[in-house]
Amino acid sequence: MSILIKNGRIITATDNYLADIFIEGETIQAIGQHLNMQASQVIDADGMLVFPGGIDPHVHLDMPFMGTFSSDNYETGTRAALHGGTTMVIDFILQKQGNSLRAALEEWQGRSNNNCVGDYSFHMAVTDFNDNTKAEVRDMIEQEGITSFKTFMAYKGALMIDDRQMVGLMQEVKKHGGLINVHATNGDMIDFLVAKHKSEGKLAPLYHYLSQPEVTEAEASGRFADMANYTGCPGYIVHLTCEGALNAVRMATRRNQKVFVETCIQYLILDASLYEKNFEGAKWVMSPPLRQPKDQETLWAGINQGLVQVVATDHCPFKWEQKLMGKDDFSKIPNGHPAIENRMELLYSEGVHKGRISLNKYVEVACTNPAKIFGMFPRKGTIAVGSDADIVLFDPNKKHTLSAKTHHMNVDYSGYEGWEVTGKVETVLLRGKVAIDKGECKIEKGYGKFIKRNKVKQTI
């Protein structure tokens, strides 16, 4: 099978030029002007932007959480991702406290194996670091190609580890060439505020927001940076939302430290006023919560300053019926919101179209940096000879409206209902196959491959 994409404008993290792309099998074989190879299929990309497939390094599919499971499984979630131009996701395995990493890996493989439409990998969340877990870190990196280890500084009793465990894990991960990613919020402070609000009868979604003030994230981000600096372990803060937390990272740069930062599309474009809609605010109950317009400005600036390297989603959808678990108590609302399908279009529309970021920066934060940081570059994350032919043809002028009526995520509302978006994903290729064409998915579950990742480099 060969495909020739003609006349597209190729955008990478560094380049912007008109050229044709010749694909044979799963990879890109040639890029150049007026290529005249014979191909089984020719795609006319005149007027289209040609991006590398998007990589969303923060999703939760079919995940047991807060007494239920996130509502997109590996099939619906990775298919919805493809519709939105994301060809690869990195999902999270959660170790059960008292059990091994291996047992968690097997449990997650049981749900994901042969079920993915798009490509995927896992981060391993270490929720119980002890001598047994310590001995498993090397195997995860060297045998399984799982080179990033997630830690939670919140969700005490289920997922949180203390600083003693964090430092021990960092030393082990550094030794074997991995990276630590972190949910950096101060779990004890949050638990105190949750209990206080509940004791005062303050039970609406707004109090989810008021239980996680900016300081809880700023403090934990600074503490995480200090521990990463002390151990020398590469560190990556997931879903960073606010000025205080980004300033903690900025401070770390003053002692020549590099801490990678991910934000998510919702923190760039939504704000905490949504929690004032009474229980409807549950749609946006996530941790950390949405913040203030001044934080959005900080995050856009952080992207342009190179302090924020990745825009992900933290896609963790729950249907409305699941959100109702917390109708009388905000602390029981399953945390998370759906966005896996919307990230690339929203970031283009709100970022590039509105002039906040350049086209190259768009590709850098949505495609290239996730591949570089998580050990997949240049196989993934760019358009180059030898790379996987994961390619998005994007119409930069097409306007459309986001809605739960038309999205492909397995959730009965949209966090972006009625949003007018400029720019649309038209065609998506995954490893040399047309995966999405004019709104239709052309590949089946099982096509998506588990991608073993390489050891991590401290620099990108």
Name the residue nearer to ligand URP (CB basis): 339 or 367. Answer: 339
Which class for 207: exposed (0-12), middle (13-18), buried (19 or more C-beta within 10 A)? buried
Q: How many residues bind ligand URP (CB under 6 A)?
A: 8
Q: Can you tell me which of 119, 314, 341, 390 binds ligand URP, judged by CB under 6 A?
A: 314
Spatial distance between the Cα atoms of 64 and 446, rounded to a whole number of angstroms: 22
**Binding to ligand URP by residue 287, rule CB under 6 A?**
yes
- For the chain, the first-to-last Cα distance in angstroms comes to 34
Q: Can you tell me which of 166, 173, 286, 456 binds ligand URP, judged by CB under 6 A?
A: 286
* Secondary structure element (H or E) that encloses residue 8, with its range: strand 2-11
Which residues of the chain form contacts with Zn ion (CB under 5 A)? 183, 314
Going by their DSSP bridges, the two strands 259-264 and 235-237 should be labelled as parallel
Q: How far is the CB of 415 from ligand URP (least distance, A)?
A: 12
3-state secondary structure of 32: strand
Name the residue nearer to ligand URP (CB basis): 286 or 367. Answer: 286
Q: How far is the CB of 58 from Zn ion (least distance, A)?
A: 5
Q: Can you tell me which of 79, 183, 291, 380 binds ligand URP, judged by CB under 6 A?
A: 183
Name the residue nearer to ligand URP (CB basis): 284 or 377. Answer: 284
Q: Is the dihedral of CA 153, 159, 164, 168 positive or negative?
A: negative
Is residue 441 within 8 A of residue 117, CB to CB? The reply is: yes
Q: How far is the CB of 57 from Zn ion (least distance, A)?
A: 10
- Binds 351: which of Zn ion, ligand URP, none (CB < 5-8 Å by kind): none
Q: How far is the CB of 374 from Zn ion (least distance, A)?
A: 15
Residue 124's beta-bridge partner residues? 93, 149
Dump strand ranges (E) for 235-376. Answer: 235-237, 259-264, 310-312
Farthest CA pair distance, the chain: 72
Q: How far is the CB of 394 from Zn ion (least distance, A)?
A: 26
3-state secondary structure of 111: helix
- Give which of 373, 396, 368, 394 is closest to 383, Cα–Cα: 368
Q: How far is the CB of 263 from Zn ion (least distance, A)?
A: 12
Tell me which residues in 333-352 interact with ligand URP (CB under 6 A).
335-336
Is residue 6 within 8 A of residue 45, CB to CB? The reply is: yes
**Binding to ligand URP by residue 9, rule CB under 6 A?**
no
Name the residue nearer to ligand URP (CB basis): 60 or 424. Answer: 60
Tell me which residues in 26-85 interact with ligand URP (CB under 6 A).
60
3-state secondary structure of 126: coil
- Binds 335: which of Zn ion, ligand URP, none (CB < 5-8 Å by kind): ligand URP
Chain contacts with ligand URP (rule: CB under 6 A):
60, 183, 286-287, 314, 316, 335-336
